[in-house]
Amino acid sequence: MDLSRPVEELTEGEAAAELEFLAKEIARHDIAYHTKDAPEISDAEYDALRRRNDVLEASFPHLIRQDSPSKRVGAGVAEGFAKVTHRVPMLSLNNAFSDEDVADFVARGHRFFEKDAGLKLAFTAEPKIDGLSASLRYEKGRFVQGATRGDGEVGEDITANLKTIRDIPQQLQGDGWPDEIEIRGEVYMSHADFEALKARSAAEGGQEYVNPRNTAAGSLRQKDPEITRSRNLKFFAYAWGYTSAPFAETQFEAVRKFGEWGFVINPLMIRTEGIEEMLVQYRRIEEQRATLGYDIDGVVYKLDNLALQQRWGFVARAPRWAIAHKFPAELAWTRLEAIDIQVGRTGALSPVARLQPVTVGGVVVTNATLHNEDYIAGRDSQGNPIRDGKDIRVGDWVQVYRAGDVIPKVADVDLSKRPAESHPYVFPDVCPACGSPAVQEFNEKTGKLDAVRRCTGDLICPAQAVEQLKHFVSRDALDIDGLGEKQIAAFYEDGRIMRPADIFTFAARDARSEKRLKDQDGWGDQSAEKLFAAIEARRQPELDRLIFALGIRHVGEGNAALLARTFGTFGQFEAVAAGAAGGDESARAQLMNIDGIGETVVNSVIRFFSNARNKQAVDDLLRQIAPLEYVVASAGESPVVGKTVVFTGSLEKLTRAEAKAMAERLGAKVAGSVSAKTDLVVAGPGAGSKLKKAEELGIETLDEDGWLELVGAQ
Ligand code: IVH
């Protein structure tokens, strides 16, 4: 195939044939390079193939193939960085899993140096950072090349990405550094940055990130260094490779020098005199593990004296003079026995993995989160693979991941152990708590469906009921005196109030009951009477408050007021909403036409009224109450036009903001203090100096009810 012809000359058929050839050819070289470690062509030739592919795709975007090399390995992650052969191999560490293993390690050292009479062996102890190691080459103090560990012998050149890490100096500071030195250490992501990235991604409907380590790895392998920069990776320097001259005599001194040269070194590194101190430091670091703000998975001990390090030497690919004392694993494999769906207080359906009990990081884990249905399916909402696209099935062997005190999660699946008879998990489309439809909402911001499914049985779902009831009586909703969150929780618990309508039938039922409220703990004749009177007083709620009280998703105070103003009566609002729910397009259009109300809100209102049981709950409620009409006196007719009004003291029915908005809507001016210019003072209980001043100045004063009456809102 002639890959040198100008792209403009190609016919569609020729371009398609070339793209097919390139997809196969590049894939073949990727395998030769990455998997077999036996490249057949030079990096430059490989790059030329990819460039040709890119150019063709830019000219013929409709011919981009599913298996295009430009799509592989997830968005933005580059393939085929140049290779870097480490001048000194990057070693790994042998592990110790118990205090005895560490004691054996120290004993081996003493045996090795037996002939050196009276020799004391000192060891450094420092956290083992759970990130990725990198080797940074400095020539005459300038950072010239950075590479991943790779297989220890050959890594990848990620200089451009490493240059974006602020902990890595471009130029070494101080003095005493050899002309050439490879500084080694760990690139990692802090918990704070990981959480922030996750939150950003969730808000944008982006991909899921499993843990800080994998995310740091992905961030380092980006084609675009600006993406790496935005991830705010960090770096601890703790070792070195090739050096053109010796620069220290001990491990401790060497790392101290890294600090002086401008690197960040771990503050928990100490020098110990032997096994007892080593283990004390291990416990100290383990205790701090949860609050460090980054993941560590053990403590590394290194023989301090560099001359002795050299004498003790290496075995296979690890030094004899160092060992990693691992914390009990935070990862474990176990069987997924079932997937349960929990319904949260806001109606979100959350899948929970029921696991064969397994110890993860010293804690027995039986449950883990599965996030949402996309996570189970192995694809995020944009179709990007999660866990390489592996889905999670009941019966699978799954890896459980636990970091600090975070809820454990299922991080991976072992497909080789998947039972033959397993089948993909089907996420329920009805709420397990109440049987109402559970739906994924369309998110206007992201233009995609939300990954989270929600129950639509807002008012009748037992999982949501208590929260809904608390909302119903809350301050900006029905605001019933003496009926707060605590009372609602108790009345729900004992079955007295299960639905909003029950609030208004409470007194009558209580009168017939054998277990009268007044006889219950914490209640008496007076308090029970007072509560019933307060409920009675709210049988004529304001329309906007009532609409808000229903707890329809996305219908907050502002939208409730818009709906109330538009429809005027509850009957009218319900008729249009129910009409739209029944498929009446003109009713839907009526909702959509309301200035300030968007599709998300309209869909949510429709969904609420599409649920027959929600509608039933509303109708039951309406048999008990008589919502007020929403009347707005036109400014011309209002008695307060042009008047200056001051509100003081506490208001019971209106919030301050509402009172102010109401007055302004009616053409009044609202002032903060009383003066000769004030026309009217509305004083609630607790009013002090302002009321006094008004009286002194002979200004008209009203209480809240008087005000509502004056403006025709009562
Ligand atoms: S020293 C010659 N110190 O652990 C010794 N390694 O399991 C080279 N690691 O590849 C390593 N924190 O990525 C050393 N404080 C630390 C470390 C550390 C994390 C990683 C490093 C290495 C792996 C070996």
Q: What pTM does this model have?
A: 0.47
Do 110 and 121 meet the contact criterion of CB atoms below 8 Å apart? Answer: yes
Q: Please state which of the ranges 5-14, 423-432, 466-475 shows the lowest mean pLDDT.
A: 5-14
Residue whose token pair is 């907050």: 556
Q: Is 128 in the pocket of ligand 1 (CB under 6 A)?
A: yes
Q: Would residue 383 count as lying in a domain?
A: yes
Q: Would residue 462 count as lying in a domain?
A: no
Residues 61 and 149 occupy one common structural domain: no
Work out the pLDDT band at 78, boundaries 50, 70, 90.
very low
Residues 100 and 64 occupy one common structural domain: no
Pocket test for ligand 1, best of 129, 265, 317 (most atoms within 8 A of CB): 129
Residues 493 and 570 occupy one common structural domain: yes
Q: Which of 455, 488, 511 corresponds to the end of one domain?
A: 455
Domain tally, the chain: 5
The percentage of the chain sitting over the pLDDT mark of 70, rounded to a whole number, equals 94
Q: Is 632 in the pocket of ligand 1 (CB under 6 A)?
A: no
Token pair recorded at residue 372: 């949402």
Q: What is the mean pLDDT of residues 441-467?
A: 85
What was the pLDDT predicted at 31? 67
DSSP 60-75: -GGG--TT-TTTTTST
Q: Would residue 578 count as lying in a domain?
A: yes
Work out the pLDDT band at 8, boundaries 50, 70, 90.
confident
**Quick count: other Cβ atoms within 10 Å of Cβ 403?**
21
Strands 270-272 and 296-303, bridge-based pairing = unpaired
Distance (Å, whole) CA 613 – CA 616? 5
Residue 134 CA, chain-centre distance (Å), reads 28
Token pair recorded at residue 328: 């009990």
Q: Is 130 in the pocket of ligand 1 (CB under 6 A)?
A: no
Residues 441 and 489 occupy one common structural domain: no
What was the pLDDT predicted at 33? 59
Residue whose token pair is 């649920």: 611
Query: CATH number of the domain that 612 lies in?
Result: 1.10.150.20
Work out the pLDDT band at 714, boundaries 50, 70, 90.
low
Q: Is 182 in the pocket of ligand 1 (CB under 6 A)?
A: no
Beta bridge partners of 250: 305
Residues 172 and 287 occupy one common structural domain: yes
How close is the Cα of 92 to the center of ligand 1, in Å? 6
User: Of all protein residues, whose CA lies closest to atom 17 belonging to ligand 1?
Assistant: 128
How close is the Cα of 81 to the center of ligand 1, in Å? 23
Task: Note if 128 is an active site residue.
Answer: yes
Token pair recorded at residue 331: 């990862």
Average predicted confidence (pLDDT) for the chain: 89
Residues 303 and 339 occupy one common structural domain: no
DSSP 172-218: --SS---SEEEEEEEEE--HHHHHHHHHHHHHTT------HHHHHHH
Q: Which of 15, 42, 71 corresponds to the end of one domain?
A: 71
Q: Is 324 in the pocket of ligand 1 (CB under 6 A)?
A: yes
- Of the two residues 461 and 237, the one the predictor is more confident about is 237
Work out the pLDDT band at 179, boundaries 50, 70, 90.
very high
CB neighbour class for 94 (10 Å; exposed up to 12, middle 13-18, buried from 19): middle
Q: Is 654 in the pocket of ligand 1 (CB under 6 A)?
A: no
What was the pLDDT predicted at 97? 87
Query: CATH number of the domain that 37 lies in?
Result: 1.10.287.610
User: Given the CA of residue 133, which atom of ligand 1 is nearest to it?
Assistant: 13
255-282 pLDDT tens trace = 999 999 999 999 999 999 999 999 999 9
How close is the Cα of 147 to the center of ligand 1, in Å? 15
Domain carrying residue 583: 471-631
How close is the Cα of 342 to the center of ligand 1, in Å? 41
Q: Would residue 465 count as lying in a domain?
A: no
Pocket test for ligand 1, best of 130, 265, 281, 300 (most atoms within 8 A of CB): 300
Q: Would residue 410 count as lying in a domain?
A: yes
Q: Is 91 in the pocket of ligand 1 (CB under 6 A)?
A: yes
Residues 102 and 158 occupy one common structural domain: yes
Q: Would residue 577 count as lying in a domain?
A: yes
Residues 214 and 231 occupy one common structural domain: yes
Residues 514 and 626 occupy one common structural domain: yes
Per DSSP, the three-state class of 110 is: helix
How close is the Cα of 346 to the center of ligand 1, in Å? 45
Q: Which of 608, 631, 654 corresponds to the end of one domain?
A: 631
Residues 528 and 426 occupy one common structural domain: no
Residues 25 and 63 occupy one common structural domain: yes
Work out the pLDDT band at 593, boundaries 50, 70, 90.
confident
Residues 193 and 118 occupy one common structural domain: yes
Q: Is 467 in the pocket of ligand 1 (CB under 6 A)?
A: no
What was the pLDDT predicted at 558? 86
Q: Would residue 512 count as lying in a domain?
A: yes
132-159 pLDDT tens trace = 999 999 999 999 999 999 888 999 999 9
User: Of all protein residues, whose CA lies closest to atom 22 belonging to ligand 1?
Assistant: 92
pLDDT of residue 37 exceeding 70? no
- Of the two residues 66 and 472, the one the predictor is more confident about is 472
